Structure 1
Amino acid sequence: MDIYIEQYKHEYKSAINELISDDSFVRKDIIVCLENYPQYGIIVRDGCEVLAVGVFNGIDKKSSMTLYVKPSRRKEGIGTILLKAIEENMRNSGVEEIVCDFKANESEKLFLYKNGYRKWFYSNFMVYTGEKLTVDNCQIMSYQDKDYYQCQKISSEAFHKMRLLVGLESTLSSPSEKQKSLYKENLKNIFVLKQHNEIVAVSILDDNEIDSIAVAIDKQGKGYGKKLVSYSVNKLLDRGYEKVSLWVVEGNQAKDLYEKLGFKTVRIHEFVIKDIR
């Protein structure tokens, strides 16, 4: 077996599409990652055949990575070779902590645990396929750049509270010019709900996914989350999507709301983490 490891090139895209034939969710995830971060992609091939692919998503101190090995060639050490190559590239790029997620199963769990990863949390991937939802009268409008600091505060405090409630370590995130700039570039996908001209909740969309919903911690339990989720679903349906998806951490009470609105869990992923400093 002549194994070669090399950086991903665009001409490998069709081979990777064929390689990941057993899981369309993983195929889409890896292809999108490679399109956004081609410089961080790695492939493993045996002659002309692509056996495995991996990619990491940027060079923040905490960054995520994903990898895939052809099912018929697993347990030959190919995954370990690829994983070590990705980790080395991440370490050399200044990444200190790696996040990885996978559809909960013993095989991948044992592989990652064996290589030093530890459990972080479980998350539910939920999908809505129904009709448009009823939205009670409320003031929902597009995000503006001047809203950044209020929206950042709401999101930071809401997700900090949620993480602590489900037993995860957490610190409040701080506003940054980088994030402010990213929000500004994404104006069309961010919406705020106001009550008496005060922002009380914020929603961020990404393609057909509700990327995040956050309600100010002193305004929770008043129905604002339901209104903004319903509005977000309708906005995506209006854009032509037939399915609306979102992730919710296991133990987060918001899952009950999503189920009542018609979302169904289609996958449960385990998220793992590893320090590579």
Structure 2
Amino acid sequence: MAVYIEQYKNDYKQEIEKLIVEDSFVRKDIIATLDLFPQYGLVIKAESEVLAVGAFTGADKKSSMTLYVKPARRGKGIGTKLLKALENNMRNAGVEEIVCDFKDNKSEKMFLYKNGYKSWFYSSYMVYTGDKVSLDDCGITNYDDKDYYKCQKILSEAFHKMRLFVGIKSTLSVQSEKQKNYYRENSENIFVLREDNNIVAVTILEDNEIDGVAVRIDMQGKGYGKKIVSYSVNKLLDRGFKNIGLWVVKGNPARFLYEKLGFKSERMHEFVTKSIR
């Protein structure tokens, strides 16, 4: 049976949701990527059946890629065909480095390694399912556009320090108008913790996840991390979410804080990269 590649269409969404049956986490991730970047999605079909789907997250120099192949059709070259097509589209869009992650397992590891991807780091997805956390009034307010430069500095320096600590090559991220505009547009999901009118911690929420949290590096170890993570948990519970997630890089000591607050590890992912310049 001949297989062929097509551009993703919204008409395929329900079929793709039914295709990815064994892992709801992967299904949610791929559907979310296709909803945001439908123009960067591809499907592989045989007659009228969708056998595989993949997408990437935009035309930046570094972009994330995800793909899925129907289990019964794996090991027959379909995944490789789709991967090469995605890489070609990414290269044409100006992408220079691809990032991909997967639940740690031998088959996906060997597939990506064989196709030139190299291990970058491991990260655990942790989930909180408890009640609201006890928290005193602690000076946390919504992000304001004037806070951008201080917040970006806190996030950049804290993540840079963490990456170096766990052995990941790192450089400080730079400020940009694109990021500033993104923060402005999502200000209802960004919160800052102030001490004596100075910002000491930042948290960014996305759907049911704590997408990023950081404490100013000279103020770490003083309880600010616990305060702003607790606030994030309560905020998401108030929004009606029952399961709250976050990622923590393997070796990051912040994991102990999350565990004390009631987060439990649900899955371990390996993150890999590939240069396509």
User: 1: CA distance between counterparts of 2:267 and 2:63?
Assistant: 22
Superposition map of 1:5-44 within 5 A: 5-44=5-44
Q: How high is the sequence identity, in percent, across the aligned residues?
A: 69
2:257 equivalent in structure 1? 257
Q: Which amino acid aligns with 1:241?
A: F
1:51 maps to what in 2?
A: 51
State the alpha-carbon separation in 2 of the partners of residues 89 and 176 from structure 1: 26
Q: Deviations over 1:193-227 (max 9, x none)?
A: 00000000000000110001100000000000000
Determine the C-alpha separation between the residues in 2 that align with 1:39 and 1:137. 45
Give ranges in structure 1 of 5+ residues lacking alignment. Answer: none
- Cα distance, 1:134 vs. partner? 1.2
Trace 1:116-195 onto structure 2 (pairs within 5 A): 116-195=116-195
Corresponding position of 2:230: 230
Using the alignment, how far apart are the partners of 1:258 and 1:135 within structure 2? 15
Aligned mates of 2:31, 2:3 — CA distance in 1: 22
In the alignment, does 2:276 pair up with 1:276? yes
Say whether residues 1:216 and 2:216 are aligned partners.
Answer: yes
What is residue 247 of structure 2 aligned with on the other side?
247
Q: 1:72 & 1:111 partners in 2: Cα distance?
A: 16
Task: Give a deviation string over 1:98-122, Cα, whole Å, max 9, x none.
Answer: 0000000000000000000000000
Q: 2 CA distance for matches of 1:111 and 1:159?
A: 30
Distance (Å, rounded) in 1 between the aligned partners of 2:256 and 2:82: 39
SS at match of 1:159: helix
Give the 3-state SS of the residue equivalent to 2:4 in structure 1: strand
C-alpha displacement at 1:126, in angstroms? 0.4
The offset of 1:136, in angstroms, is 3.3
Supply the RMSD in Å over aligned alpha carbons.
0.5
How far apart are residue 141 of structure 1 and its match? 0.6
Residue of structure 2 equivalent to 1:202: 202
By how many angstroms is 1:135 displaced?
1.4
User: Take 2:39 and 2:258, find their aligned partners in 1: how far apart are those partners?
Assistant: 37
**Partner of residue 70, structure 2:** 70
Alpha-carbon distance in 2 for matches of 1:73, 1:177: 44
Give the unaligned 5+ runs of structure 2: none
User: Counterparts of 1:196 and 1:89 in 2: how far apart (Å)?
Assistant: 50
Deviating runs (4+, > 6 A) in structure 1? none
Q: How far does the alpha carbon of each residue in 1:137-189 deviate from its partner, in whole angstroms, 9 at most, with x for none?
A: 41111110000000000000000000000000100111111111100000100
The CA distance in 1 between the partners of 2:136 and 2:196, in whole Å, is: 16
CA distance in 1, matches of 2:31, 2:209: 17
Secondary structure, counterpart of 2:131 in structure 1: coil
SS at match of 2:135: coil
Aligned length: 277
Q: TM-score, normalised by structure 1?
A: 0.99
